[in-house]
Chains A and B, each alone.
Chain A
Amino acid sequence: KAGVTQTPRYLIKTRGQQVTLSCSPISGHRSVSWYQQTPGQGLQFLFEYFSETQRNKGNFPGRFSGRQFSNSRSEMNVSTLELGDSALYLCASSLRGVGSYEQYFGPGTRLTVT
């Protein structure tokens, strides 16, 4: 079956702009989690959506938001971009949710903020 897909793969934005990233989970998976990966902080959990509801949230400011659609596709939005938001953003899908051993990761979206 098709794996988790993320679009776009690369993005360059200017400080102060906003950005929307998309994640399409594996067919049948209802949970989508988002992670930020940076060299300094490593992999950090942003939030999880399950059946269109945010179920868990990490310690990120309100500029980071997300949503999930009825087909389980998820979007993540970052408003008022800062230089420190430059990172690789990963999403993962699973049947049961965060921590489930069935989590499958996408290739990531590389966001560069200038």
Chain B
Amino acid sequence: AQRVTQPEKLLSVFKGAPVELKCNYSYSGSPELFWYVQYSRQRLQLLLRHISRESIKGFTADLNKGETSFHLKKPFAQEEDSAMYYCALNQIQGAQKLVFGQGTRLTINP
């Protein structure tokens, strides 16, 4: 079954330190992966999409098919990065749907 796993429910790092939010997936086809973010009192919003291979707010994510991972990274964390982060997989085999991970709450300490 298609599955997205975010092993860390909580992650706390200091401002200026590197941050990496882990995401692993299981999918039999060619995956399409996303990172969504939800800041406090705001709506869930798309952060980045692996196909676009872009950097948003300093975050990047590389799809590693060998390790079935799509980790989100930022070299220098900022306090405004504190939020809930969700990794999501676009399942296109069978009923198309977004499969979300359980989310990681990232806290950046000053």
* Residues in chain A within 8 A of chain B (CB atoms): 3-4, 33, 35, 42-45, 48, 55-58, 90, 92, 97-99, 101, 103-108
Could you show 19 A-B contacts with beta carbons less than 8 Å apart?
A33-B98, A42-B86, A42-B101, A42-B102, A42-B103, A44-B100, A45-B99, A55-B96, A58-B95, A98-B97, A99-B90, A99-B96, A101-B46, A101-B49, A101-B51, A103-B46, A103-B98, A104-B45, A105-B44
* Beta-carbon contact of A3 and B96 below 8 Å: no
- Write out the residue numbers on chain B whose beta carbons fall within 8 Å of the beta carbon of A103: 46, 98
Give complex CA distance A82, B70 in Å. 36
* Beta-carbon contact of B52 and A101 below 8 Å: yes
Complex partner residue of A45 from B49, B98, B103, CB under 8 angstroms: B98
Contact A56-B43, Cβ < 8 Å, known A98-B90, A99-B92: no
Give the Cβ gap from A55 to chain B, nearest Cβ, in Å.
8
Main secondary structure of the interface of A (DSSP, over half): strand
Give complex CA distance A100, B101 in Å. 17
Which B residues, 69 to 110, have Cβ-Cβ distances below 8 Å to chain A? 86, 90-92, 95-103
* Beta-carbon contact of B97 and A56 below 8 Å: yes
